[in-house]
Amino acid sequence: MEKTTQMTGASLITRMLYKILRPLAKILLTHGVSGQEAIEVLKLAYVDAAEQDFQIPGKRMSAQRISVLTGFNHMDVKRLRVDYRAEEASGELWDFNNRAAAVVSGWVNNAVYQKDGNPIDLPMEGEELSFTALVKECSGGSTPYAVLDELLRAGTVKQTLDGDICLRLKVYCPHESDEKMLELMGEQSSDLLKIYGHNINHPNDQSILQQVIKYQQIPPELVDSFKRLSEEKMMEALLELNAWLFKHSSPIKGSGVGAVESSEAEAERTVILGLYFYEGDASD
């Protein structure tokens, strides 16, 4: 069971932000994305949103105004607007290895820690040629045992009987997952947040359908039955609605059942219908 922070005294919008970011942070940590990289991406998202969505008609969107909107200093805004636009194609700007990855990289690439081109086993302690020295050199201030615990958890290193640290893998890979599922997560989470944003700003008659049912204290023996029932009913509804869209739409590129490839121009509008089932413990 995940322990959640109460954030006593925080505003409603801040508590909402935490609820969104908390499960996302778990996914990012699982895939080795450092807090530094996440913050940098969040900064870029803020600058892009300010630049694209908060323009004043007839006025140029200046770095000073973006700075006022985002709270970032002028130099940070300039770097994100200019440097990233000019150099993002190279991919180099997004090379934010987390600290465990940086230790492995130093071990693999620094000749001092190699013999005959292969990383050597390292004792835990020592001023030179030790795991502690390697962490001190590469990790930016992390404690050696914290880095060791993470590398052991990921299966990147192992400890020999005499206590030396042996590198098993030449790359820090905390988790392998389906790349397509990560792509879908980005796309579908973005779509859902856009719906919430629209409904917050356009309540009542202009709102978009966005409904959910939630029941607590369901007996465990009934959960599987409801899951099977809901999957059956949702699939029936999805197939029926997909057939309707297919019948009434022009040939367009798509990913759903019955999607048709076409060389013609894309349809003017895109519609998306999402269904999901979630099961949690009583504290959710």
Q: At what angle do helices 63-70 and 35-53 cross, to 10 degrees?
A: 120
Is position 239 within any domain? no
pLDDT tens digits, one per residue of 168-181: 988 777 666 667 67
State the average pLDDT over residues 11-29.
91
CA distance 219 to 155: 38
Domain around 41: 35-94
Q: Which two tokens stand for residue 24?
A: 């996302």
Is position 224 within any domain? no
Q: How many domains does the chain have?
A: 2
- 67 and 108 belong to one structural domain: no
Is position 133 within any domain? yes
Is position 8 within any domain? no
- 81 and 120 belong to one structural domain: no
| Boundary-marking domain end, from 79, 94, 109 | 94
Q: Could you give phi then psi for residue 24, rounded to 5 degrees? A: -65, -40
The pTM of the full predicted model, rounded to 2 decimals, is 0.68
Is position 123 within any domain? yes
What letter does residue 111 receive in the DSSP assignment? G
- 88 and 107 belong to one structural domain: no
Evaluated on CA atoms 36, 42, 44, 46, the torsion sign reads negative
| Domain of residue 123, CATH code | 1.10.10
Contact 275, 238 (CB under 8 A): yes
| Boundary-marking domain end, from 110, 143, 167 | 167
Evaluated on CA atoms 138, 144, 147, 151, the torsion sign reads positive
- 103 and 78 belong to one structural domain: no
Neighbours of 77 (CB within 10 A): 24
Is position 127 within any domain? yes
pLDDT tens digits, one per residue of 95-151: 555 678 888 888 988 889 988 888 999 999 988 899 999 998 887 677 889 889 888
- 106 and 156 belong to one structural domain: yes
pLDDT tens digits, one per residue of 222-281: 999 999 999 999 988 888 888 887 777 655 444 444 444 444 455 467 788 888 888 887
Contact 67, 74 (CB under 8 A): yes
H or E element at residue 157: strand 157-159
Is position 192 within any domain? no
